[in-house]
């Protein structure tokens, strides 16, 4: 079985995750947090070669939020600019949110993709990121109802086996799309060995990408490219371009992947090509 699974042998899908919920402007002043800044960053990253944007939002004080109005404003700004990048809206959230709060953005705004964190974990040894079985069943049902493709985020091997269970039960349709997330405290460490181990256990009918958090991000990028994977980059995962050198923007991460992909004699997938590779047929 090839490690690339159903990924295109000549195209690499780059996802940009420009904001996330953890970094702050104290970590990197260039972090975009409000809708206008996030939308502008997404459009710039599309022009640099990104095919997918993974969107988190913040409240007016730049704190992590699942406020629908922030998602709506961000998505509308991107769409009004006629930017064809595929949108991936997060469904994650801290404790205290209802199931409806977490799915409302993708149910109402109908992006191409929504995140599906495939299990509960002790996030950064600080709090419990809750994704209990009833919520994952609910989330799977709602992605099917909305016609939105789940991006199954895997932080450890247990989450992979959870995902396979939900595929077998019909809550997720094949071919599934996985995002391997390594280096978050509480999850698997970001090493080439761990990435290869996870890739070797993915189901046959799937596409996949990967990213590493923090200082291991480049190691994971290069390993994923060698294995035929797609790539995620952005301030959500790493605010540094080199050791002790803050990244000037999200764009520089996309540009670095483009250079590496070119050295492989491959090209970055356009949004339309990404849609085909991921099996997304619904016109937005």
Distance CA 133, CA 155 (A): 16
Residue 201's closest CA among 161, 231, 153?
161
* Helix pair 217-227, 192-200: axis angle to 10 deg: 40
Total-model pTM:
0.97
At 186 the pLDDT is 93
Strand partners, 209: 179, 230
Report the C-alpha gap between 238 and 186 in whole angstroms: 17
Cα distance between residue 99 and residue 131, in whole Å? 10
Q: What is the enclosing helix (H) or strand (E) of 12?
A: strand 11-12
Q: How far apart are CA 212 and CA 252, in angstroms?
A: 16
How many C-beta atoms surround the C-beta of residue 200 within 10 A?
A: 10
> Does residue 208 contact residue 230 with C-beta atoms inside 8 Å?
yes
d(C-alpha 272, C-alpha 120), whole Å? 33
User: Which domains, ranges and CATH numbers included, belong to the chain?
Assistant: 11-278 (3.20.20.70)
d(CA 103, CA 46): 25
Helix (H) or strand (E) holding 117: strand 113-117
Q: Helix-strand-coil percent breakdown of the chain, rounded to 5?
A: 40, 20, 40
Question: Smallest Cα–Cα separation from 156: which of 105, 195, 213, 103?
Answer: 195
198 and 157 Cβ atoms separated by less than 8 Å: yes
Could you read off the pLDDT tens digit of each residue along the chain, which spans 284 residues? Answer: 799 999 999 999 999 999 999 999 999 999 999 999 999 999 999 999 999 999 999 999 999 999 999 999 999 999 999 999 999 999 987 668 999 999 999 999 999 999 999 999 998 888 889 999 999 999 999 999 999 999 999 999 999 999 999 999 999 999 999 999 999 999 999 999 999 999 999 999 999 999 999 999 999 999 999 999 999 999 999 999 999 999 999 999 999 999 999 999 999 999 999 999 999 985 44
pLDDT of residue 123: 86
Separation of alpha carbons 62 and 60, rounded Å: 5
Residue 95 burial (C-beta neighbours within 10 Å; 0-12, 13-18, 19+): exposed
Cβ atoms within 10 Å of 266's Cβ, excluding its own: 16
> Residues 67, 59: contact at Cβ < 8 Å?
yes
Distance (Å, rounded) from C-alpha 1 to C-alpha 200?
8
Q: State the pLDDT at residue 281.
A: 80
CB of 9 within 8 A of CB of 229?
no
């Amino acid at each position: 079985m090839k490690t690339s699974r159903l990924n295109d042998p000549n195209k690499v899908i780059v996802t940009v995750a420009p904001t996330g919920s953890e970094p702050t402007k104290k970590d990197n002043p260039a972090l975009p947090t409000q809708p206008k800044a996030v939308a502008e960053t997404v459009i710039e990253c599309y022009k640099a070669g990104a095919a997918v944007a993974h969107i988190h939002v913040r409240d007016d004080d730049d704190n992590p939020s699942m406020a629908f109005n922030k998602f709506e404003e961000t998505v509308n700004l991107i769409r009004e600019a006629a930017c064809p990048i595929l949108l991936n809206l997060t469904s994650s959230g801290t404790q205290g949110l209802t199931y409806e709060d977490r799915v409302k953005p993708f149910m109402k705004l109908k992006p191409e993709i929504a995140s599906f964190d495939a299990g509960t974990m002790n996030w950064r040894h600080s709090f419990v990121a809750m994704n209990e079985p009833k919520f994952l069943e609910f989330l799977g049902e709602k992605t099917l109802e909305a016609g939105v493709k789940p991006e199954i985020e895997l932080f450890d091997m247990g989450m992979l086996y959870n995902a396979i269970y939900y595929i077998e039960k019909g809550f997720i349709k094949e071919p599934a799309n996985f995002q391997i997330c390594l280096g978050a405290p509480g999850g698997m460490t970001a090493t080439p060995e761990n990435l290869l181990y996870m890739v070797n256990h993915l189901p046959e009918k799937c596409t996949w990408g990967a990213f590493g958090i923090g200082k291991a991000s480049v190691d994971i990028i290069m390993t994923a490219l060698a294995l035929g994977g797609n790539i995620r980059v952005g301030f959500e995962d790493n605010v540094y371009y080199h050791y002790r050198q803050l990244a000037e923007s999200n764009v520089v991460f996309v540009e670095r992947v483009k250079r590496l992909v070119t050295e492989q004699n491959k090209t970055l997938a356009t949004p339309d090509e990404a849609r085909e590779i991921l099996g997304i047929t619904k016109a937005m």
